[in-house]
Amino acid sequence: MSRHESAFEMATSAIRFGPGVTREAGMDLAELGVRNALVLTDPWMRTLPPVATLEQSLNDAKVGYTLFDRVRVEPTDVSFRDAIDFARGVEFDAIVAIGGGSTIDTAKAVNLYTCHPPEDFLDYVNPPIGKGKPVPGAVKPLFAIPTTAGTGSETTGVAIFDLAHLHAKTGIAHRRLKPTLGYLDPDNTRTMPSAVAAATGLDVLSHAIESYTAVHYTGRPYPERPILRPAYQGNNPISDVWSLQALRMVGDYIVRAVEDTGDDEARSQMILASAYAGVGFGNAGVHLPHGMSYPVSGMVKGRGYRQAGYPNSPEMIPHGFSVILNAPAVFRFTAGACPARHLEAAAALGVDTARANLADAGRILSTRIVELMERLKVPRGLKELGYSSADIPALVEGTLPQHRVTKLSPRPATPEDLGRLFEETLQVY
C-alpha cells in the first residue's frame, strides 16, 4: 500500500523590492567576489533603460560581464541550446538574468546545463517527455531582475520552454534552480507595453487561483528520498497565504496597471503580486489552465496569429493569454471538488460572496475572470487564435503528457473532459 505525503517544503528565492534596486546588482556581485558575470537578456530589452542601468551598476562596481542578448520570447529547446552553447565558451562566476520570464527561465537552463551537463538534453526535463532527473548538485549564483509583472520566475526553480519537434511546452523543475536573489524594481516595468502588462498580469491571476485550488499536499505520494519531493507539492498552509494575497492585489491593481502604464503604485503592486503568486505556485503548483495552455502555445505556429501590442511580435500567443483563455471553463469544472476555495478566490478578486451558494462557486469565479478578460481586451477565445473544433483532439493529446501540472487538478480530467473544456474555450465571451 502506497504511503501518502505527510510533509511539505517551503523554498523560494530571496527577494529585494524597491524602486531603483537594479542599481545595487553590481555591488552585490562585487561583494560575492564575482570576476565575470554572464548577463542574459533579449534583443528588445537590450535597447531599453533597465539593461543600461544594470550595465552601469556592473561597471561602477568594477565587475566584468559578458552579455548574451539572443534570448527568445517564449523560449524553445533550440533557443535554450543556443544560450547554453554560448555560455560554455565563457568563463563566468555568476549569472544575471534581466527581462521577462523567458529570460529568467533561459538563465536557469544555462546554469544547470553548464554546471551539470547531462548525457541527453531531456535528462532533466519533466516526465513523461523527459527523465526528470534531479539536479545533482549546486549551481552558480543566479540573480534575476524581472522587467514584467507576471511570471514569478524570480522566485521559483521552474524553467518552461517549447520542445520544438513536439510543438508542446514542457519544463525543468527543481529547487536548486531558483535564483539566489530576485530584484523587484518597479522602475523596470515602465517600459512594459499595456498588452504585455495584461498578459503577464492575468498569468499572476491564474497562478494564484491554480495554486490555491490545487490538490492538498497530503494527496501526493510520499517520495522515496527528500530530493525527489517535487517543487509543485499541492496546496499547503504557507502557499495559501501568498496566493490569496496575490489575488487581492491583482483584483485591486491589474486594470490600473494595464490602462495607465504611468501609474507607479499599480505597477509596484503588480510586480509584488507576481512575486507573491510565484511563492504560492512555486511551492503548491499550478494545474489544468497551465497544462492546457502548453499545446495552445505550441501549436499556434502556422495560424498567422500575432498579438497586437507586443514588440517585434513573432507568431505566438503570449503565455498569460494562453493560460487565461482556459481558466473560466476549468474553474467551472473544478469548483465542485473544493467549492469553498473557488468562492474564496472570487472574494479575493473583489466579488461580494456574502450570500453566495457554494454550488455557484465555479460560475461566480469564472464570471469575474471573464469580466477582467473583456476589460483588458484578451482574445475572445481559441477561435480568434486560429483554432477550431477540428484541432481539439490534438490539443487534448498535447495536454495529456503534462503530468507535472495536470495531476494537481482537484478534479481529475479525462481526455473526454479535456475535450469539452477546449470546446468551451473556443468562444469564451
Cell of 74: 517564449
Length of the chain: 429
128 preceded by cis ω (within 30°)?
A: yes
Mean pLDDT computed over every residue of the chain: 95
Question: Residue 164 has what pLDDT?
Answer: 85
Question: Residue 165 has what pLDDT?
Answer: 84
Calculate the CA dihedral of residues 424, 364, 151, 388 and round it to 10 degrees.
10
| Confidence band for 130, pLDDT divided at 50, 70 and 90 | very high
- Which tens digits make up the pLDDT trace of 224-246? 999 889 989 999 999 999 999 99
- Which tens digits make up the pLDDT trace of 101-129? 999 999 999 999 999 999 999 999 998 89
Look up the pTM and report it.
0.94
Among 185, 181, 106, which Cα is nearest to 147's? 185
The CA-atom distances, in angstroms, between 418 and each of 20, 327, 333, 414, 422 are 45, 12, 10, 6, 6
**What's the CA gap between 354 and 336, in Å, rounded?**
19
Question: Residue 301 has what pLDDT?
Answer: 80
Q: Which amino acid is at 287?
A: H
- Which tens digits make up the pLDDT trace of 18-47? 999 999 999 999 999 999 999 999 999 999
Domains and CATH numbers, the chain: 20-184 (3.40.50.1970), 192-425 (1.20.1090.10)
